[in-house]
Amino acid sequence: MGVTGNGTSGTTVAELVQRRWGDHRVGLRHEDLVLSHHQVASGAAARAALLTDLLPRGAEPHLGILLDNTAEFPLWLSAAALAGAAVAGINPTRRGAELARDITHTECRVLVTERAHLPLLDGLELPGVRVLVTDSDAYAGLLAPYEGARPDDIAALPGRPVRPGSRLLLYFTSGSTGAPKAAICTQGRLAAAGGALVGHFGLRSDGVHYICMPLFHGNAVIADWAPALFAGASVALRRRFSASCFLSDVRAYGATYFTYVGRAVQYLLATPERDDDRDHTLRLGFGTEAGAVDAERFEARFGARLVEGYGSSEGGAAIQRTPDTPRGAIGRAAPDGDLAVVDPSSGVECEAARFSGEGRLLNGDRAIGELVNRGRSPFEGYWRNAPAEAERLRGGWYWSGDLFYRDAEGFLYFAGRTDDRLRVDSENLAAALIENILARWDAAAGVAVYAVPDPVAGDQVMCALSLRAGATFDPSDFAAFLDAQPDLGTKMPPRFVRVAPRLPLTATNKIHRVALRREGFRCDDPVWWRPGTERRYRVLTAQDEAALLRAYETHDRAALLHR
């Protein structure tokens, strides 16, 4: 998430929660529930007191939250801060053993969930994990003895004093191989991020922050909830993002600020236009991957400005947008950063980008490289993953894993992901996990999963399949197979399927992913795809390909298609 101001402040999130005690203005709204700031602080204190009694002595003070955006989510974030515990946001689109791994890897001894998500836990091995179901009578009974707790009276867990360096968030980010990594964010860094956004955007205590992005992601917590807490602004929650309900929510809550990802903006622009599209209080949206075209369309239609930002998920690099930022660029390095675009194989800085009169990148092969931070990095590490930390910080630099190019004026432009990571609807996916699932299909002899650019924002999932001798690609059978896989997350099914006689290999007999990504869906092999929201596959025709290419050109993303 793009947050300027990378450092760690001397303020803790616990202190920010304590400041709200005695503040009887509206602090939190969700559906029919309205809580004052004072009630939020009181509820957080009660949950913190319960948590300190539930967590086993000597165990890591970690709890998992498997919830939609209900009032319980920010209450437990605040409770963890008061108790000196850390929250692992658990993604409800994960399934089976991978979901269990997220919970056990982060050593959660308490898991807060709701009835709607209980089926996800059926059959999972979660030894030593206490499950709290927020919409149950048992949960209400557990909290009852702690009513009346005050946030400034909560004793931190033994041996865990609340300090700026105390862990508060363990949020998952996928890498190129293996399972997602849990990045660490301390109380000081989260408070600093909130304060930086308050200062940068002039956010005020009378504002209303609309949180429609999922709180298990850093986007919503770092860039929406934290600045609201820092400023003393009100928070309004939407259980799950809904384009059709967006404006009615904004009007009902009097929302002034929200965060987004590019796909959400696209969905909003796809809603029918109305004469009252500008009849609302919304003034600013902050997010990533909307693109210049859609940001301009959003402001023209709804009268609210969208500000694109960039910050690596782990906090190691941030880009600051300034008023003179050119169309299509993200901005320049934040004042406290020393960012460079380098060739990842040599470490040599790439040449400045050159553009045609129409704005097309002319020297992408020499200008595109990986974004690195050569200066002090606020990256705080991964939970129990020293090899991944070392890879991220190799050579004394922070390697973002993201591709960029830089113009002669120093403005940075996002160009995609390195290795085989995919970012679909703002979620980072690891190709290896999807490959392991697709390899179960009886007809498959070989599988490669990789990203192709989405015409609007982020990536789409593409796979190349080589088939067993005598097998043919049956689109209905393949779709039925995908539907039957319990651990295939909702973002994982391939949009495009390339059926190849054999997968391309490198000299070391590894799958040549670079070649596959470069060709994308414009290849000589048959390609099947799922247009729009369709669940079944059909052949990608020349007319389909032409329409897709026009969509890339409309959104200024044609340069990302490498062949």
Residue 410 identity: G
Name the pLDDT band for 389 (thresholds 50, 70, 90). very high
Which range among 138-142, 365-369, 503-507 shows the weakest confidence by mean pLDDT?
503-507
**Pairwise pLDDT comparison (185 vs 514), residue with the higher score:** 185
pLDDT of residue 508: 40
Provide the pLDDT confidence category of residue 207 given band limits of 50, 70 and 90: very high
Decide if 511 contacts 448 (C-beta within 8 A). yes
**Pair 426, 458: CB distance under 8 Å:** yes
DSSP 173: E
Q: Are 526 and 501 in contact (CB under 8 A)?
A: no
Most confident of 155-164, 278-287, 343-352: 278-287
3-state secondary structure of 514: helix
Give which of 24, 327, 14 is closest to 190, Cα–Cα: 14
Q: Out of 3.40.50.12780, 3.90.700.10, 3.40.50.1700, 3.20.20.70, select the CATH number for domain 13-240.
A: 3.40.50.12780
- Report pLDDT digits (tens) over 210-264: 999 999 988 899 999 999 999 999 999 999 999 999 999 999 999 999 999 877 8
Residue 248: enclosing H or E segment and its boundaries? Answer: helix 246-253
CA distance 444 to 499: 10
According to the model, what pLDDT value does residue 251 have? Answer: 98
Task: List pLDDT tens digits, range 70-84.
Answer: 999 999 999 999 999
User: What is the Cα–Cα distance from 439 to 511, expressed in whole angstroms?
Assistant: 14
* Spatial strand order in the sheet of 284-288: 33-36, 26-30, 234-237, 208-211, 257-261, 284-288, 305-308
Write down the H helix ranges in 1-94: 13-19, 37-54, 72-83
pLDDT per residue over 156-171, tens digit each?
A: 777 789 999 999 999 9
Q: pLDDT by residue (tens digit) across 457-496?
A: 889 999 999 898 889 999 999 999 999 988 788 888 999 9
* 117, 75 contact by CB (below 8 A): no
Determine the pLDDT at residue 506. Answer: 60
CA–CA–CA angle 290, 193, 317 (5° rounding) = 65
Question: Which structure tokens are listed for 246?
Answer: 């967006």
- Residue whose entry in the numeric block shows the structure tokens 């470069």: 518
Alpha-carbon span 209 to 235, nearest angstrom: 5
Q: Cβ distance 332 to 322 under 8 Å?
A: yes
The full 3-state SS of 365-401, as one line of letters, equals HHHCEEEEECCCCCCCCECCCHHHHHHHCHHHCEEEE
Work out the percent of the chain whose per-residue pLDDT is above 70.
94
Taking alpha carbons only, the member of 17, 7, 1, 45 closest to residue 230 is 17
Element at 143 (helix H, strand E): helix 137-143
Q: How high is the pLDDT of residue 419?
A: 67
pLDDT band of 1, cuts 50, 70, 90: very low
Burial class of residue 23, CB neighbours in 10 A (0-12, 13-18, 19+): middle
Fold type of domain 335-417: Luciferase; domain 3 (2.30.38)
Instruction: With beta carbons less than 8 A apart as the criterion, state whether 261 and 220 touch.
Output: no
Is the pLDDT reported for residue 185 higher than 60?
A: yes
What are the residue ranges spanned by the domains of the chain? 13-240, 335-417, 421-560
Q: What is the mean pLDDT of residues 424-451?
A: 82
CATH number for the region 421-560 comes to: 3.30.300.30
pTM of the model: 0.80
Amino acid code (one letter) for 346: S
